[in-house]
Amino acid sequence: MADLLKGQAAIVTGSSRGIGRAIALAFARNGADVVIHGTREEALKTLREEITALGVRCECVAGDIGLYATAEQLAETCVRAYGKIDTLVNNAGINSRHTFAEVTPEEWDAMLRTNLTSAFYTCKCVVPYMLERGSGSIVNMSSSAGKTAHPNAAVCYGVSKAGINSLTQKLAYDLAPKGIRVNAVCPGPIETDMSRQWTAEYREKVFSSIPLRRLGRDTDVANVAVFLASEMSAFVVGESINVNGGKYMN
């Protein structure tokens, strides 16, 4: 176990699986006490056991991240359990690969509520506690689809992630003078359950578009989140960092 985050108290939304799960475990391995969140209570309990086995504390909050009440519960749980909030990771989100013609008004609303409005809610609930201490780090999970059009991402997904990038910059500008850093992570193709279902032909097409010639791992993203939560990134503010093996550079 490293100690880059030793003594920190962190909230990680959408942490019952995938990238969020990897981030929660990476935070724990680096010494942080964690509040994990998701909609699947059994998955959260399993993750909690893994985290506490690493010698740190862990609390669980299950609920719809698109509801303001869930954001309030996350903040209150962290402060009640650990007395503070050092880091918020807004990871929870959903994806879609529908064409513009296929996207319904209901899907548009659900995508923006889950991917973008939820981050606004959690920041609203967490930032006051950070302001009291004059320090904190917020890490928003974005995507390369928020920076450029992508054939494998629905318009509502790209718009929600572009909104995350804008939210990141605006909050960073407002909060940096008060000691709170806000940054985002923009993953590209990451090895997930869904990517494992690709055909060999499509997988090769994706590989050939990535200069590193491999898909990313959830730990690749988690390591960047740890960096942004630690003092190693003390002078990094308002950035949306690409983690995509060079597939998209800007």
Count of CB atoms situated within 10 Å of the CB of 46: 13
157 a catalytic residue: yes
Q: Could you say which of 157, 173, 202, 248 is catalytic?
A: 157
Q: Which active-site residues does the annotation give?
A: 157
